Amino acid sequence: MKWDICDPSVQYLLHLGDDALILGHRLSEWCGHGPVLEEDIALSNIALDLVGLARQYYQLAAERVGGGCTEDDLAYWRSDREFRNHVLVEQPNGDFADTMARQLFFDAFHYLQLEALQNSGDAQVAAIARKALKETTYHAEHSADWVVRLGDGTEESRRRMAAALERFLPFTAELFTPAEVDRVAFERGWGPDVASLKGPWDHLVLEVLQKATLERPEVPHKLLRGKSGIHSESLGFLLAEMQSLPRAYPDATW
C-alpha cells in the first residue's frame, strides 16, 4: 500500500483492528443463513459490533499515519501479508457448531485482552477497550450458552460440537504466543503480555466445557504467525471478496 504503516503504534492498532474486522466479516457471512431467526440477528449484531470496533482502531491508526489516510484505505488497500490478525479468526465458518467453537475461543481471549487494555498506556486504546469490554461480555455469554446447549444436547449436536472444538483448539496457541507486535506493545505499556492471558483463558474455557459435559480435546498445537503477516489461504479468499468493490471502483461512494 502507498501509506507508511510501519510505526509500532499503528502496527498494534492494525493488529487489534484486523482481528475485529476479519472475524466480523466471517460472522456477517451468516446473515440470512442463521439456523433460526434469533441467531441470524445475534450473529449479525455481533458482526456489527466487531466491524464497529475495527473502525475505531482503524480511524485512530489512520490519524496517526496522517497525510489523508483513511480507515477505508487500511481495510481495503492492504494485502494479506499486511494483515496482523490471528489465523483463528480468518478460518471459514463451517457449520454452526464450528462457528460457536471459534467464537467461544476468541470471545474468551478478547474479553481478557480488553480487560487488560482498559489500563493501556495509550489513552485512546483504553477508552475504546472500556466500552468494547461490555459488548464482548454479551458475545461471550452468547457463545458459551451455545457450546453448553450443543454439547449437552442431542447425540448429533454433541458430536458436532466436539468435532468443532477439535478443529479450532490447535489455532488457539497463537493467541498466547507473543509476536513482534505484542512484544513492542508490552514493552511500551500499550498492551498486556499475551502469554499471561493463557491461565485465565484456560480457566474460562474449561468452565464452559465442564458445563457442556465435553472434554477438552488432546490435540497438537499449530505453529502460526498470522500476527507477523503469514496467513492461511483462507484470508486471501476472504479479502478478495471483501476488497473487490473498492478495488474495482476506487471512486465509488455510498
Q: Binding residues for another protein, per CB under 8 A?
A: 38, 41-42, 45-53, 56, 123-124, 126-128, 130-132, 134-135, 137-138, 141-142
CB-wise, 50 or 214, nearer to another protein?
50
Of the pair 45, 196, the CB lying nearest another protein is at 45
| Helix axis angle, 8-28 to 180-187, nearest 10° | 130
CB of 81 to another protein, least distance (A): 28
Q: Which is nearer to another protein, 15 or 231 (CB)?
A: 15
Q: Closest distance between another protein and the C-beta of residue 46, in Å?
A: 7
Contact 151, 212 (CB under 8 A): yes
Of 131, 191, 175, the residue nearest 8 (C-alpha) = 191
In the bound complex, what is the minimum distance in angstroms from residue 219's beta carbon to another protein?
Answer: 30
Helix/strand/coil for 37: helix
Q: Based on CB atoms, which residue is closest to another protein, 48 or 184? A: 48
What's the min distance (Å) between Cβ of 28 and another protein?
11
Q: Which amino acid belongs to residue 222? A: K
C-alpha cell at 135: 459488548
CA distance 95 to 5: 36
| 230: phi then psi, degrees, rounded to nearest 5 | -100, 105
